[in-house]
């Protein structure tokens, strides 16, 4: 039974459970062949305080083959192969997850060998303006969470949320020059600034309760300084000037959007397909602490 999010005392919630249903339907004006598709729509079994309970990925036709694998970021990738698609094909992902409050996302020693956390990716390369802003922000706050908070707030105040002015190939520098974009662009601008300031950080793709589409935010990865060599990945959502919370469901992480695009692939045909998507995240259980 669905629970209305407005009825939840989020400050007192200790555990929440969600059901996620997401569909991707591709429609073609004529048959296509040799479909080779990549889906990043199923969360890992464990991600910090988040645990995947059940999952199912289905397709609406026979003769389709699925292969699961993990990429270098630990994301679950589903490769789909279909020899022929007459007119349309639909993928449906159904996932049950739960999250627990106050459980940090701890990364084991060796995390800093992941060079993508500090290196600029194709979509997050810093131009002169980003470098200048990074210098100003770096001078205004102590390195670490304080600086990440300043960057998070700066991106929120410097951008206007607007559909249709950017695309999946828009870089952080381009989005900042426009001054508008969607959550993907906010995340890319924050990543560009964090990396220019020497803050290890990564792109996160997932869902935010109450929003219609896929959401994107940032994790800043900082050492615990407890002698273990471990790190804590902390959530920052520059689209909402937020530090995250139990209303977020993580699907995948990477250097930028190109690493975690929910759906992508190739096929043989001169026909151009049309994508229709839908998503529903339902809150099904809440447990409160004492």
Angle formed by the axes of helices 183-196 and 145-158, to 10°? 140
At residue 34 the predicted structure's pLDDT band, cuts being 50, 70 and 90, is: very high
Return the CATH number of 106-260, one of 3.30.420.40, 3.30.565.10, 3.40.50.300, 3.10.620.30: 3.10.620.30
2 or 204, greater pLDDT = 204
Out of 42-46, 131-135, 210-214, 243-247, least confident range? 210-214
pLDDT of residue 232: 95
Cβ(278)–Cβ(234) under 8 Å?
Answer: no
Chain-centre distance for alpha carbon 85: 29
pLDDT of residue 67: 95
Cβ(38)–Cβ(79) under 8 Å?
Answer: yes
Give the pLDDT confidence of 54-71 residue by residue, as tens digits. Answer: 999 999 888 899 999 999
Chain-centre distance for alpha carbon 141: 27
Distance (Å, rounded) from C-alpha 200 to C-alpha 176?
21
Q: Please compute, for residue 168, the number of CA atoms within 13 A of its CA located in the half-sphere on the CB side.
A: 9
Q: What is the DSSP string of 80-104?
A: EEEEEESSEEEEEEEEEEEEETT--
Phi-psi region of 244 (alpha: psi -120 to 50; beta: other; left: phi over 0): left
pLDDT of residue 21: 96
Give which of 172, 184, 166, 183 is closest to 124, Cα–Cα: 172
Domain boundaries, given as residue ranges, for the chain: 5-100+261-288, 106-260
pLDDT of residue 290: 66
Give the pLDDT confidence of 80-129 residue by residue, as tens digits. Answer: 999 999 999 999 999 999 999 988 899 988 888 889 999 999 999 999 99
- Please say whether the structural domain 5-100+261-288 has been given the CATH code 2.60.40.2250: yes
Phi-psi region of 212 (alpha: psi -120 to 50; beta: other; left: phi over 0): alpha
Phi-psi region of 34 (alpha: psi -120 to 50; beta: other; left: phi over 0): left
Cβ-proximal residues to 82 (8 Å cutoff; 6+ apart), any chain? 35, 37, 59, 61, 63, 64, 65, 89
3-state secondary structure of 289: coil
Cβ(260)–Cβ(205) under 8 Å?
Answer: yes
pTM of the model: 0.95
166 or 225, greater pLDDT = 166
Cβ-proximal residues to 266 (8 Å cutoff; 6+ apart), any chain? 35, 36, 37
Token look-up 């020693």 returns 109
Give the pLDDT confidence of 146-202 residue by residue, as tens digits. Answer: 999 999 999 999 999 999 999 999 999 999 999 999 999 999 999 999 999 999 999
pLDDT of residue 43: 97
Token look-up 């998070």 returns 152
């Amino acid at each position: 039974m669905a629970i209305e999010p407005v009825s939840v005392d989020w400050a007192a919630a200790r555990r929440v459970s969600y059901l996620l249903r997401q569909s991707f339907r591709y429609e073609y004006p004529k048959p296509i062949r040799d479909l080779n598709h990549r889906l990043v729509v199923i969360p890992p079994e464990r991600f910090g305080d988040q645990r995947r309970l059940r999952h199912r990925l289905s397709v609406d036709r026979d003769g389709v083959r699925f292969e699961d694998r993990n990429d270098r970021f630990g994301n679950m990738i589903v490769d789909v192969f279909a020899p022929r698609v007459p007119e349309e094909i639909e993928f449906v992902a159904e996932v049950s997850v739960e999250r627990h409050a106050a459980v940090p996302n701890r990364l084991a020693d060796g995390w800093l060998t992941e060079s993508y956390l500090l290196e600029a990716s194709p979509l997050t390369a810093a131009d002169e303006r980003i470098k200048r802003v990074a210098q100003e922000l770096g001078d205004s706050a102590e390195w670490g969470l304080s600086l990440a908070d300043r960057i998070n707030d700066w991106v929120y105040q410097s951008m206007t949320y607007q559909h249709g002015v950017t695309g999946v190939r828009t870089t952080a520098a381009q989005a900042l020059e426009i001054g508008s974009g969607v959550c993907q662009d906010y995340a890319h601008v924050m990543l560009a600034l964090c990396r220019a300031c020497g803050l290890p950080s990564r792109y996160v793709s997932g869902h935010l309760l109450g929003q219609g589409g896929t959401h994107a935010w940032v994790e800043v990865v900082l050492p615990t300084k407890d002698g273990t060599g471990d790190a804590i990945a902390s959530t920052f959502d520059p689209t909402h000037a937020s530090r995250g919370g139990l209303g977020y469901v993580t699907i995948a992480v990477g250097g930028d959007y190109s690493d975690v695009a929910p759906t992508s692939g190739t096929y043989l045909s001169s026909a151009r397909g049309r994508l229709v998507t839908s998503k529903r995240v339902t809150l099904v259980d809440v447990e409160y602490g004492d």
